[in-house]
Copies of this chain bind each other. A is one copy, B any other.
Amino acid sequence: MALKSFIEVHPDCHFPIQNLPFGVFRPEQGSAPRPGVAIGDYVLDLSEIASAGLFDGPILNNSDCFSEPNLNKFLALGRPAWKEARATLQRLLSSTEPALRDNGALRKKSFLPMDKAEMLLPVAVGDYTDFFSSMHHAKNCGTIFRGPQNPIPPNWFHIPIAYHGRASSIVISGTDIIRPRGQGQPTGNSPPYFGPSLKLDFELEMAAFVGPGNELGKPVDVNEAADHIFGLVLMNDWSARDIQAWEYVPLGPFLGKSFGTTISPWIVTLDALEPFSCDAPKQDPPPLPYLAEKISKNYDIALEVQIKPAGHKDSCVVTRSNFNNLYWTLTQQLAHHTVNGCNLRPGDLLGTGTISGPEPESLGCLLELTWNGQKPLSLNGINRKFLEDGDEVTFSGFCKGNGYTVGFGTCRGKIVPSSS
C-alpha cells in the first residue's frame, strides 16, 4: 500500500517501486549490455546487484542470469524466479531497507540516470507471433479490405486468429523506420505499382514475452497459461497497407509487415499489472473447452498514440484506447498457440493485434482512423491520410493506481525515406 522507495518518484512517473519493469541497457557506448530495472528516473544495474550478492533468494542465489546480455535466461527460469526477483528488488529499493540505500559505493555503480542509458532489445526473440484479438479492428479491416457483408470471418469468434511475424526486424523504441518499397495492386491492365509504400501506417499493439514455454507436442493448459507470460511491452506493428492488400491472399501478410516492428524497452511484469486486472468481455459463442478458462482476465491499461508531423514541434494525440478492448485474452492466445503441440521458447513475443476500441477516437491505426485514406485526419491543421517521411509516432501506456502510476514509458519511431 504505502510501499515507498528511497529513490524519489513522482506520482505520474511510470516507474515507481510498484512497477519495477525489466530491460537491457548499456551504461555507455561500447560497454556490454546488461539487465536493469527502471525506478523513478534511474536504471538499476542488475549485474551489479547480482555481483554484490544481493539476490540472495533460493533460486537466484546461484544464477548468472543477470550477467547475460539479454533476459532470455531469466525468462526461462519461470514465475517462481520472477516473483523472487521482484520481492528482492522491492525490499532492496524500499525506503526502510539500508542494504543498498546506505551503501554509497554500490549506489554509485548500480544507479544510472535513465537519460544516460542506451536501451536495447531486452530479449533475443526466437519467434514472433501477431494475433488479431480486437473485434473492432477485425470488423473495420474486414469492411475496408473485403466489404461490409460479413466483415468478420466466421472463424474469428472461435479462434484467436494469428500469423507468424518476422523476428529479425524487431527493433527497440527510438530506431528510425525506413519506408519500405514494394508492390501495390495494379490498376486495369498495367503492371503492379512498384516503389516506396504510399500507405504507411502504425498499429497500436501490446505484446507479451514468453517464459519458460513448452516442449514440442505438449500443449499448455489455458488455466496454466499465465505462468508462461513474463510481462508486456508496447508494440508498433508498422504496416504498409498497399503492399499488404496486394500480397496477403492467400497466405497472409508478409512484406507489408516485415520491414520493422518497434517495441518499448521496459517489460512490465504481470505481477506489477495484477492490481489493474479486470474482467475480460463475455464471449458469445462460448469458446471451445480448450479455450474456456476459470478466470478470464484483461488489464485496464490506458493507451495513447501521438504523431509529431514532419517539420513540426508539437505532437498531436490521434487515438486513445485501452488494453481491455481485447476480446481474446493473453492466456487464450497462448493456449491456442500451443494446442497443436507448437513449442514456445523463452523470449518468444506474442503481439495482441491492433487494439481498437468501439469509438471513432479509439481506433488503433490510420487505416481505420482515415478509413483507408478516404477521410484525412487533421493534426493541428496538418492533413494526414497515412504517414509521411519525417513523421514521428509515439505510443504510451499506463495504469493509474492510488497515488502512483504503473506505466510502460513510450514506444517511438520516426519514418525516414526509402534508401533508393
Give A residues with C-beta under 8 Å from B.
126-127, 132, 141-142, 145-146, 153, 155, 158-159, 161-169, 171, 178, 180-183, 186, 191-192, 194, 216-219, 240, 243, 246-256, 258-260, 285, 288-290, 336-337, 339-345, 348, 419-420
A145 in complex: contacting residue of B162, B250, B256, B345, CB < 8 Å:
B250
Other contacts beyond A194-B289, A248-B251: 5, CB < 8 A: A142-B250, A158-B191, A166-B342, A243-B340, A252-B252
- Chain B residues with CB under 8 A of A243: 340
Contact B259 A153 (CB under 8 A): no
Indicate if the CB atoms of B250 and A248 lie closer than 8 Å. Answer: yes
A288 to chain B: which residues have CB within 8 Å?
183, 191-192, 194
Q: Which of A194, A256, A285, A340 has the most CB of B within 10 A?
A: A340
A216 B260 Cβ-Cβ under 8 A: yes
20 contacts between A and B (CB under 8 A): A127-B166, A155-B192, A155-B249, A158-B186, A161-B247, A161-B251, A161-B254, A163-B252, A166-B342, A168-B216, A169-B216, A171-B216, A180-B340, A182-B339, A183-B288, A191-B285, A217-B259, A251-B253, A255-B337, A341-B419
Interface contact B168-A344, CB-CB below 8 Å: yes
Closest 8 CB pairs of A and B: A252-B252, A180-B340, A164-B164, A163-B251, A178-B217, A255-B340, A258-B342, A251-B252
Min Cβ gap A218→B in Å is: 7
- CB A412 to nearest CB in B, in angstroms, measures 17
Closest B residue to A217 using CB positions: B178
> A266 → chain B, closest Cβ, in Å?
22
Which residues on B sit within 8 Å (CB–CB) of A216?
168-169, 171, 178, 259-260
What B residues does A259 contact at CB under 8 A?
216-217, 340-342
Q: A215 to nearest B CB, angstroms?
A: 10
Which residues of the other chain, B, contact A155 by a CB distance below 8 angstroms?
A: 192, 246-247, 249
Instruction: Provide the residues of chain B in CB contact with A194, threshold 8 Å.
Output: 288-290
